């Protein structure tokens, strides 16, 4: 039997602030973190969701900003779990989508894992980190890797998640690709026309259930199942038939030992690009049926698309939504797509009774990831 994996700590630094409860209250109130961010370049949209007050009046370079966000958020996650960062059998699994690599000259000729080595060194970690970059699925794939390391007996504790920062190159790239909305993010809306960028960091502390029980840890949720796939349809666009997304969700359900009908809540990718929204709807239709199914919510309308951090931020939102029995409205969604197969959280917070939920991410390059969480309420 596969050893159970539980979540005993979590932290995020978001455009709506930090602190799990404080940010959750702002999400439930339908707030967003978008502000005007001037650019010397011509962009489709100059608004973005940025983390407030990070530099404390000092100018930080991109690499320093990335490391600072990661270290501060990891320390909060460890404190929330009641654990030190230097445990002998503690492993850090950290993801980013390029991070500061394209915008900091000091990073370009350095190993791609250098930023993560510096981060865990600041925390006193005994082992080098596992570092990955799978585009928008980096944060959620870090959780997949961490869960498998615990199951394989390679670690008792894995601190997993992602971090990414807003940089000129990312803004230019998404503007040139026309994935950036010229108006606002409207996930699953008939008027969806693109995503909006954000930044942040989020990390979850995973433990073997036996280790958590031994130290009488508070358990936030159980990570019941993980699944990933790659549809390899394009460097940027998902497979229109959503084969990868469907396979990732089905694999996570098999891993969890659950039927699709047992899932009551889904945190969708909700990027608000027409191709992603259509692919996601096709995947949900294939897994859950043409009508009904679990309640779907999404957070990119509030946080922006935080790239390498988004999967971990959405995993935390999924856990909070399950624990609280209520989820925030999808910011920007006003005219739901009538063909969307699942009920959506529209206009106001939506109450539910689900205890089991999915967090789904669909990354550039076809990286599709699904996480199954369960809470006791």
Q: Which domains does the chain have, with CATH numbers?
A: 5-214 (3.40.47.10), 225-374 (3.40.47.10)
> How far lies 110's CA from each of 45, 116, 270, 322, 326, in Å?
32, 12, 34, 41, 44
Residue that the structure tokens 């040139």 belong to: 176
> Residue 2 pLDDT more than 70?
no
3-class DSSP assignment, residue 31: coil
Of the candidates 30, 162, 9, 14, which has an alpha carbon nearest to the alpha carbon of residue 87?
9
pLDDT at position 108, please? 75
Of the chain, the percentage scoring pLDDT greater than 90 comes to 86
From 240-244, 312-316, 344-348, the region with the lowest mean pLDDT: 240-244
Parallel, antiparallel or unpaired: strands 5-14 and 17-18: antiparallel
pLDDT at position 106, please? 76
Instruction: Work out the number of other CB atoms within 10 angstroms of the CB of residue 88.
Output: 9
Q: Which residues are catalytic?
A: 136, 269, 305
pLDDT at position 98, please? 83
Q: What single-letter DSSP state applies at residue 291?
A: S
> Residue 56 pLDDT more than 70?
no
From 56-65, 91-100, 121-130, the region with the lowest mean pLDDT: 56-65
Of the chain, the percentage scoring pLDDT greater than 70 comes to 97
CA–centroid distance for 137 within its chain: 7
Residue 137 host element (H or E): none
Give the confidence band of 234 by pLDDT, cuts at 50, 70, 90. low
pLDDT at position 236, please? 66
Phi, psi of 367 (to 5 degrees): -80, 105
Which residues, 6+ apart, have CB-to-CB distance to 163 below 8 Å?
Answer: 66, 69, 70, 73, 94, 95, 96, 99, 200, 201, 202, 308, 309
d(CA 74, CA 332): 30
Residue 91 host element (H or E): strand 90-95
SS3 content of the chain, % helix, strand, coil (to 5): 35, 25, 40
Give the confidence band of 178 by pLDDT, cuts at 50, 70, 90. very high
d(CA 305, CA 331): 13
More confident residue, 192 or 231: 192
Report if pTM > 0.85: yes
Do the beta carbons of residue 28 and residue 326 sit within 8 Å? yes
pLDDT at position 111, please? 82
Per-residue pLDDT, averaged over 187-209, amounts to 97
Q: According to DSSP H, which parts of 241-340 are helical?
A: 243-256, 274-288, 300-303, 310-324
> Residue 239 pLDDT more than 90?
no
Q: What is the mean pLDDT of the chain?
A: 94
Per-residue pLDDT, averaged over 94-120, amounts to 87
């Amino acid at each position: 039997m596969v050893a159970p994996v539980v979540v005993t700590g979590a932290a995020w630094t978001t455009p709506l602030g930090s602190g799990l409860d404080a940010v959750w209250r702002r999400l439930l109130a339908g707030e967003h973190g978008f502000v005007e961010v001037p650019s010397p370049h011509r962009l489709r949209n100059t608004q973005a969701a940025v983390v407030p007050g990070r530099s404390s009046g000092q100018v930080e370079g991109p690499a320093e900003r990335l490391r600072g966000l990661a270290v501060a958020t990891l320390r909060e996650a460890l404190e929330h779990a009641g654990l030190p960062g230097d445990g002998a059998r503690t492993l850090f699994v950290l993801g980013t989508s390029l991070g500061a690599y394209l915008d900091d000259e000091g990073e370009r000729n350095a190993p791609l894992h250098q930023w993560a080595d510096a981060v865990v060194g600041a925390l006193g970690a005994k082992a080098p980190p596992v570092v990955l970059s799978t585009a928008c699925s980096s944060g959620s794939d870090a959780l997949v890797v961490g869960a498998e390391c615990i199951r394989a007996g390679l670690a008792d504790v894995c601190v997993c998640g992602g971090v990414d920062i807003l940089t000129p190159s990312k803004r230019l790239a998404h503007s040139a690709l026309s994935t950036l909305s010229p108006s606002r993010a409207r996930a699953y809306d008939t008027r969806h026309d693109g995503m909006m960028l954000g930044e942040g960091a989020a990390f979850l502390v995973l433990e073997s259930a036996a280790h958590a029980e031994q130290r009488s840890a508070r358990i936030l949720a159980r990570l019941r199942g993980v699944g990933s796939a790659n549809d390899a349809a394009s460097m940027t666009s998902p497979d229109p038939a959503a084969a990868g997304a469907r396979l990732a969700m089905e694999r996570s359900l098999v891993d969890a030992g659950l039927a699709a009908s047992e899932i009551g809540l889904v945190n969708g990718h909700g990027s608000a690009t027409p191709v992603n929204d259509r692919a996601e709807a096709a995947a949900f239709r294939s897994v859950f049926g043409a009508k009904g199914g679990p309640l779907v919510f999404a957070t990119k309308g509030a946080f922006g698309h935080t790239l390498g951090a988004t999967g971990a931020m959405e995993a935390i939102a999924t856990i909070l939504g399950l624990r609280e029995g209520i989820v925030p409205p999808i910011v920007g969604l006003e005219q739901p797509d009538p063909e969307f197969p699942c009920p959506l959280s529209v206009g106001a917070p939506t109450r539910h009774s689900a205890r089991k939920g999915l967090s789904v991410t669909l990354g550039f390059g076809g990286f599709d990831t699904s996480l199954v969480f369960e809470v006791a309420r």
